[in-house]
Structure 1
């Protein structure tokens, strides 16, 4: 029996690469390697002699097993599972022996074309990890006559090692639209591969290996069908839980969303986009073309290629660690955090194992790493979560850096004119940071999203940035002068001389005003009628504390200690925590600091902490609940804080407190630890108001707390029942909603009963439009990013607190955040004098 099988074209038509398929699961090779056809014939033919191993119940997909063991999946059209079988007439059944050229499915081309997103038919070898493929076909092919691709078996088909232990089982209802067709099976396959246990899915008396996409598709499981999951091995419990979640989390047969929706074309001829970082810029358009490096597919032996990959990963790891250290030295916290996340990705075992499998199949280290990265990227793109899709840029960054080491010739940093507006399809974080900052006026991207790491860096570096502009961005003429207004979401490549001159004058005036406000920021912020408002800074380390002092901050309103815990392999020691907090106090030159205890969980992942997987992390172990679940971690942090000097300038803040019992439990433990350490002085202890229950019980909390600090980000998501990480809800997640204003008013009123002050450390405090509202509600401390301190202080000084009180009362009677903002905009001139 020959190990090589030559496949004939199953349809007549134009051959396309998988990358041209409008579905990320196929385009990224997640289902396997192969080719696609834009069909011109209406009968799907068997590409070789073999046996039918799977026929979709809806007739849109058939798999034939060739004599050499290759599983050839033919998927007719995109999202055709939604047609429910209409337009397809199958001629074979599972188990039938077929010959090359034998009809498999008759297709009503006109009917399918009218109702499906695309007729493109995908032909992939689903077990291509065990095969070598020659993708030679191109142009027009004739069904049953043209050579399509050649498949050679690479030794024995790989199987997981032996497993031990009792077999566990659990049932689950399949929530995926259309049942277990290609996309859901690819998702289940990716989940199953994370675990060592052997996992089967059982349905209608049959069982399929969860690592085999074809076997799962062959079960014929429909939407809302009940399946049984079986797992045997050391991690069987975890594997079953993950598979149940994957089966019961609904996905839809439609396309996975792009990382960000492309903005509709504007009527005024300007290029529209999504604001990633606000600002105004005039500059020369510079187009950065993305060039894909050619990589050799075949390697020079398993051992040399594994050694090359491991060596390259270590070099990149060292370089990224150096980037983190340099960013920390400059106080560039956002940059440090992002590259710290890249370090974690470099150590990801799933990526490493995937690359090693390619090398074991004879591929080069460069080909293996690129394939592993892109497969993982398509998993993220295919999950239907736009926030996760934006993390693909980080994987792309690592791919580029590792290939630079493996192939040599690292790409030089581009040369830019004095004021450059850089235009690109997308940028990775390291590409952005390599651009000369002093020459970079703005960034415009065809793709990207407002929450990805490049957007975060642009905001941190104050670079005006527009993303998700679509292909029109790449058609801009390089070398021309353009006007970018990122805050309003547009770029004008045809701005006349008058518009450019006006923009330059506006930019100069804004810069002059920033300098003036910074010069005046050291003084106290008092309203026109004499009410003092403390304006503090939100920081993460001592470098940011020094920056806060330079910007005139009255103190630190929030030090997020979780940044001591992330991007490392173990928890920081008590001494490390004490030293980091002491450095912050020392940097403040006599000012006070509010230091929040660890707020892990939810969207703040700390991998080495044994937090359980949760169906809804935002409602699970978060904030102080994490400390209660891991008392040793909380005790180490409290001991470290009790040793900071002087304690009179330290205030401890507890996150995610739900009621008085949480507060009293920590206060009692703080007293016990102080006694053990021989510390007689106590720091102030405050509570974050982040959940509605805490706002409603503010009077009870204020009886035992020294102060209250409102975290508007979480309070907004819990009050409005909208996930703050959900991109589709971003526009509606507004802390100026009247319900939030009422909760803030209730908090201030409750605190006043016991003579306690209330601050706001959430994003609302950094919104100048909200400053008169918060002052009117009775908030006496605002904690903002260091760079915003001068502007917020200036806003406070232009207000009359009595007028603000009446305004805040009026706003609580409105019925939407939009109405609140409209009223604030209308009253701005009267409020700010």
Structure 2
């Protein structure tokens, strides 16, 4: 026979489904590569096929795994599912025998998808090259595949000299894609691209408008100034170039899931032209609010004069130590942000961490040190040079991102100079600076400042995002005149874009009085928050809280919540490499019930998919993620996930206080299927006290079918966030459309009215757990349309209860139905202000 041992081999996909790298397999043995190189597939079919021609070396006694020897000598383990050996062959039917010759694409085994999925740890299946010391596996694709699609190249390993030659002259592939990230390639999406590229051996570049940048460099990527929906070329060169290219194209074409405040169109960094007003500086509102207090000037760090001729090795060591110190600080900030589930801080400081390792910065600083500069001077100049590049690109958004570089400049310089953030700022002071950085803002918020104002800066900067999250009024683009001010007391009217430099004593008194009245009103509302929310004519409205953990549930109870209207269970599933088991889930759900005393808790089943991805649950890339595989649809594809969650929920006590809510339901059969499954699990677990089962109304189809759904559901809960975007056909995260996605649109109100009317036919109650429930202007409208439960943020419980107590439900009903005839959300809001003005 001919010697085929050096022949390259292309393996075809033995299963259909999303492809995973071994690192993403939820099993430490396979993920570590201990069994060999390879790839994984999360299967969507029920038959395993031969990836190539070869001989069957071994068939597992339990039928869950088969080993083939390919014609070129590569030995391939095909392992269906994880921990499936424990099934002892149940659900598997082997179609070949040991010693048999099989053809490429020949069926090897079949399995009962439902039976195996319900009993094994995961259906994720492996194709492992067990003699990896002799052969190398090179992925062809990391996208979803169908049986027979090209999946891996298998080549014999070569000597080190030849290997180096191959790496240098390896294949180069390229592709074109439009950038989906809002605002283009600024810091956060650039950090994602860098992270993606670093997962491969190949070197990749982006090419745009005659310029190129390495995907290893955040600064290089940002310097290309690629805008949203602009097309770039991606090239990858090296041993796994094809896989790297596909991963980068997917990362570039999938927008980050960011909060709506980040979706605002970039605001120019100069204040709008207004008539001159003596004693007033005009700026741009970055975070709303009104406050008065002493003006405190915050100066940037200054460097000592550098005489040059420093010992390069000493300076390199000093810079490395400073970088390590700052890296540790940022990692601590990130850890705290993750613990507090502050997604804004996580995204911002993760980008800072990537910038700290950027070769464009480090190489420039190293070169200056080699030429005799001090580490302080070298670092400062390398940052300044890159800031200048970003500011000259003509993009306000990228100019604002230069502030992140200046933040790192200051932090590293402080570490080099042995200084700390040392400002002692009076409580309630209004801080003035040329431009504050994200780390400055964290320090300032801890010191209890009243507000922020900057000569430069922008309304979409990372500082602005953090200021809004901290509730700190903030004005930017006030001009250099700000830095010349010495006033003791000023008024910062961020909503009006004004910094009043010479307020009269009466004006100061009025502002303080307004703030005092606001505080007193909130204190009164909070003191009454634990009472029932009854309208003037005696209609009881339950005011519950949206929470994501037992700690938030405890806060909600302390703030007067009548229950939990929405527990988002995703907090258990994200930021980890394996799914929580049944016991961990049960303990988490029980902790929330315990934290709420004797109040009811509505627990939404897992809502991932689309734009909410899990490392251990790979899903196909989708052109329209919010219209794809998510919510209850995912449970249909992966029923074992929902079954495990339902078992955990049925184990809590008392079950009478636990209500289960199903997301993304679009038809009655979906509800009936889950109800039947819930009934079967109750019988299996001998549970007699069955929890109530509700449906989320978050797609128009569900609202239009509310009467039919209410016949089989115990309650309905309206998710106005998704219902808004699906009804209006506007992505609520779209930069240009976010302000128009208003749940008080008459079309939304008609769907809410229809939902309430349909539920009333079967005497079911309706709640609202979307953002509209937290809008006091919407409270009378929702009550008038028939909503009887409002689930809001814990801090707003007292305010919403107070709002309810000043309303007449009959009048609300009469006036609300007239609002359905109006032409726009703006018209509805104007009518609400007239009928039910906010005090």
Q: Same fold (TM over 0.5)?
A: yes
Deviations for 1:587-640, whole angstroms, at most 9, x for unmatched residues? 212111222233345565655653454444333444444555555554444443
Q: Cα offset for 1:582?
A: 2.4
Q: Is the 8 A contact 2:207 2:232 kept in 1?
A: no
Distance 1:398 1:188, change over 3 A: closer
**Equivalent residues in 2 for 1:599-614 (5 A)?**
599-601=607-609, 604=612, 606=614, 609-614=617-622
Aligned to 1:242: 248
Aligned to 1:320: 333
2: distance between equivalents of 1:677 and 1:403?
A: 62
Distance 1:821 1:547, change over 3 A: same
Q: Is 1:550 aligned to 2:558, yes or no?
A: yes
Aligned to 1:720: 728
Q: Secondary structure at the match of 1:728?
A: coil
**Equivalent residues in 2 for 1:215-234 (5 A)?**
233-234=239-240
What's the RMSD between the two structures over aligned residues? 5.0
Aligned to 1:91: none
Q: Is the 8 A contact 2:297 2:483 kept in 1?
A: no
Q: Is 1:441 aligned to 2:446, yes or no?
A: no
Distance 1:579 1:267, change over 3 A: farther
**Equivalent residues in 2 for 1:348-497 (5 A)?**
351=357, 400-401=410-411, 404-405=414-415, 408-412=418-422, 414-435=423-444, 437=446, 439-446=448-455, 454-455=463-464, 457-459=466-468, 461-463=470-472, 465-471=473-479, 474-475=482-483, 477-497=485-505
- One of 286, 290, 314 as aligned partner of 1:280: 290
1: distance between equivalents of 2:387 and 2:680?
A: 48
2: distance between equivalents of 1:163 and 1:675?
A: 60
1: distance between equivalents of 2:550 and 2:393?
A: 40
Q: Is the 8 A contact 1:446 1:471 kept in 2?
A: yes
Distance 1:578 1:292, change over 3 A: farther
- One of 301, 304, 307 as aligned partner of 1:291: 301
2: distance between equivalents of 1:439 and 1:189?
A: 37
Q: Is the 8 A contact 1:600 1:622 kept in 2?
A: yes
1: distance between equivalents of 2:438 and 2:246?
A: 36
Distance 1:578 1:248, change over 3 A: closer
Aligned to 2:820: 812
1: distance between equivalents of 2:613 and 2:318?
A: 33
Q: Cα offset for 1:772?
A: 0.8
Q: Cα offset for 1:731?
A: 2.8
Q: Cα offset for 1:272?
A: 4.5
Q: Cα offset for 1:416?
A: 1.7
Aligned to 1:130: none
Aligned to 2:543: 535
Q: Is the 8 A contact 1:276 1:459 kept in 2?
A: yes
2: distance between equivalents of 1:625 and 1:209?
A: 40
**Equivalent residues in 2 for 1:99-118 (5 A)?**
none
Deviations for 1:551-572, whole angstroms, at most 9, x for unmatched residues? 2221111222333444555544
Q: Cα offset for 1:403?
A: 5.5
Q: Is the 8 A contact 1:547 1:786 kept in 2?
A: yes
Question: 5+ residue gaps in structure 1?
Answer: 1-158, 177-185, 215-222, 250-255
1: distance between equivalents of 2:348 and 2:575?
A: 9
Distance 1:473 1:211, change over 3 A: same
- One of 570, 583, 586 as aligned partner of 2:591: 583
2: distance between equivalents of 1:663 and 1:237?
A: 40
1: distance between equivalents of 2:676 and 2:482?
A: 61
Distance 1:402 1:580, change over 3 A: farther
Q: Secondary structure at the match of 1:518?
A: helix
Q: Is the 8 A contact 2:707 2:757 kept in 1?
A: yes
Q: Cα offset for 1:324?
A: 4.8
Q: Secondary structure at the match of 2:737?
A: helix
Distance 1:369 1:446, change over 3 A: closer
2: distance between equivalents of 1:823 and 1:423?
A: 40
Q: Is the 8 A contact 1:341 1:567 kept in 2?
A: no
1: distance between equivalents of 2:768 and 2:823?
A: 23
Q: Is the 8 A contact 1:280 1:487 kept in 2?
A: yes
Deviations for 1:508-556, whole angstroms, at most 9, x for unmatched residues? 2222221112112211111111111111112232332222222222111
Q: Secondary structure at the match of 1:483?
A: strand
Q: Secondary structure at the match of 1:657?
A: coil
- One of 742, 747, 751 as aligned partner of 2:755: 747
Q: Cα offset for 1:259?
A: 6.4
Q: Cα offset for 1:814?
A: 0.9
Q: Secondary structure at the match of 2:552?
A: helix
Q: Is the 8 A contact 1:689 1:710 kept in 2?
A: yes
Q: Is 1:300 aligned to 2:313, yes or no?
A: yes
**Equivalent residues in 2 for 1:599-748 (5 A)?**
599-601=607-609, 604=612, 606=614, 609-628=617-636, 633-671=641-679, 673-674=681-682, 677-748=685-756
1: distance between equivalents of 2:778 and 2:281?
A: 30
Q: Secondary structure at the match of 2:313?
A: coil
Question: 5+ residue gaps in structure 2?
Answer: 1-162, 181-189, 221-228, 256-263
Structure 1 residues 291-300 or 450-459, which shifts more? 291-300
Q: Cα offset for 1:813?
A: 0.9
Q: Is the 8 A contact 2:784 2:810 kept in 1?
A: yes
Q: Cα offset for 1:815?
A: 0.8
1: distance between equivalents of 2:330 and 2:447?
A: 28
**Equivalent residues in 2 for 1:131-146 (5 A)?**
none
Distance 1:679 1:404, change over 3 A: farther
1: distance between equivalents of 2:273 and 2:201?
A: 49
Q: Secondary structure at the match of 2:660?
A: strand
Q: Secondary structure at the match of 2:695?
A: strand
2: distance between equivalents of 1:376 and 1:570?
A: 40
- One of 240, 246, 266 as aligned partner of 2:274: 266
Distance 1:570 1:239, change over 3 A: same
Q: Cα offset for 1:776?
A: 0.9
Aligned to 2:525: 517
Distance 1:356 1:683, change over 3 A: farther
Structure 1 residues 283-292 or 628-637, which shifts more? 628-637
Q: Secondary structure at the match of 1:522?
A: coil
Q: How many residues are treated as equivalent by the alignment?
A: 639
Q: Is the 8 A contact 1:445 1:473 kept in 2?
A: no
1: distance between equivalents of 2:215 and 2:646?
A: 46
Q: Is the 8 A contact 2:526 2:559 kept in 1?
A: yes
1: distance between equivalents of 2:720 and 2:396?
A: 24
Aligned to 2:202: 197
2: distance between equivalents of 1:584 and 1:426?
A: 42
Q: Is the 8 A contact 2:457 2:476 kept in 1?
A: yes
Q: Cα offset for 1:783?
A: 1.2
Q: Is 1:765 aligned to 2:773, yes or no?
A: yes
